[in-house]
Amino acid sequence: MTELEKLQNRFGITGLARFEEGMGGLPRIALTTPAADATVYLHGAHVAHYKPAGQRGVLFMSAASQYRTGRPIRGGVPICFPWFAARAGDPDAPMHGFVRLGDWSVESIQRSGEGASVVLGFKSNSATKMSFNADFELRYHILVGPKLDLTLEVRNTGEREFSFEAALHTYFAVADSRNITIDGLQNTEYVAKSEGMQRKTQTDPLIRIDREVDRVYQNTQATCRLEDPGFGRTITVEKENSNTTVVWNPWIDKAANMADFGDEEWTGMVCIETANSAENAVHLPAGQAHRMRAVIQSTPH
């Protein structure tokens, strides 16, 4: 019996959850429910597709994405943990941490109302301890329904407190990034990564993409609303236990320099990331758990 067949026998649900070979031969779960369809790769616990019934897909996926062990998938919802961006003091450490590069295990799949819930897990091991010396267990709860409800649970299974950063690095599909607006972050301080790491304050009530935007908004729990007149919809991102929001669009030059991203694809995406990063890193005592949640909803106009 193949690994896929074993997973299907143990966790598959006829008509609702099917294990299949995805891009690059990587295993993925295809969820088909009355409320929404979704696909989730075990590689990185990566939600690569979410489409509420009767609507277009909500998530952007790059046509140039690699689907390979050891490489991140470009688009969808990569999970960044236990650090965000480059690791301070360790240039060889993988960007955004190692869990988006690793294989996650399936803990459960269940019908949930008109949708489905999936729980995936990842545990620290001797390899993770080489770069992050902590004992932890991650559990990622993915609720696919009229909303996409994602909770990253981090449990400290060791005997010492540790600190971590995390992000649900969500890529949204938009008709044209130059014509969208994002609200919810007015008066919030941010680190402008694309402007020499300057610390600035968001004065305009609306964020527009008119250049490379790479901003790490700190100390905000606000709901963000993404208005997309081209696709005729509003996407809301509500969150819990997240104090950082990252807004990212690479614009022309950075897109051209990314090997796994099409040169023109920056017009079709924007990232609004539910995160805890930099001064909002989480300090987790031994035996405790932290749950960061993002609830995403698309409302057609």
Residues near ligand BG6 (CB under 6 A): 72, 85, 95-96, 169, 193, 214, 246, 248, 273
Q: How far is the CB of 189 from ligand BG6 (least distance, A)?
A: 16
Q: Closest Cα to residue 117, out of 62, 49, 36?
A: 36
> What is the C-alpha separation between 233 and 65, in angstroms, rounded?
26
Q: How far is the CB of 60 from ligand BG6 (least distance, A)?
A: 13
> What is the C-alpha separation between 227 and 141, in angstroms, rounded?
27
Contact assessment for residue 249 and residue 221, using Cβ atoms and an 8 Å cutoff: no
Q: How far is the CB of 182 from ligand BG6 (least distance, A)?
A: 15
Give the nearer residue to ligand BG6 in terms of CB position, either 169 or 239.
169
Q: In this structure, what token pair is assigned to residue 179?
A: 């014509």
Q: How far is the CB of 213 from ligand BG6 (least distance, A)?
A: 10
Cα–chain center distance at 188: 22
**Which secondary-structure segment (H or E) carries 214?**
strand 213-217
Q: In this structure, what token pair is assigned to residue 251?
A: 């614009």
Distances (CA, A) of 43 to 16, 22, 101, 275, 284: 21, 10, 7, 20, 26
CA dihedral 258, 262, 263, 269 (to 10 degrees): -100
Q: How far is the CB of 95 from ligand BG6 (least distance, A)?
A: 4
Q: Closest Cα to residue 143, out of 273, 297, 248, 23?
A: 297
Q: How far is the CB of 219 from ligand BG6 (least distance, A)?
A: 17
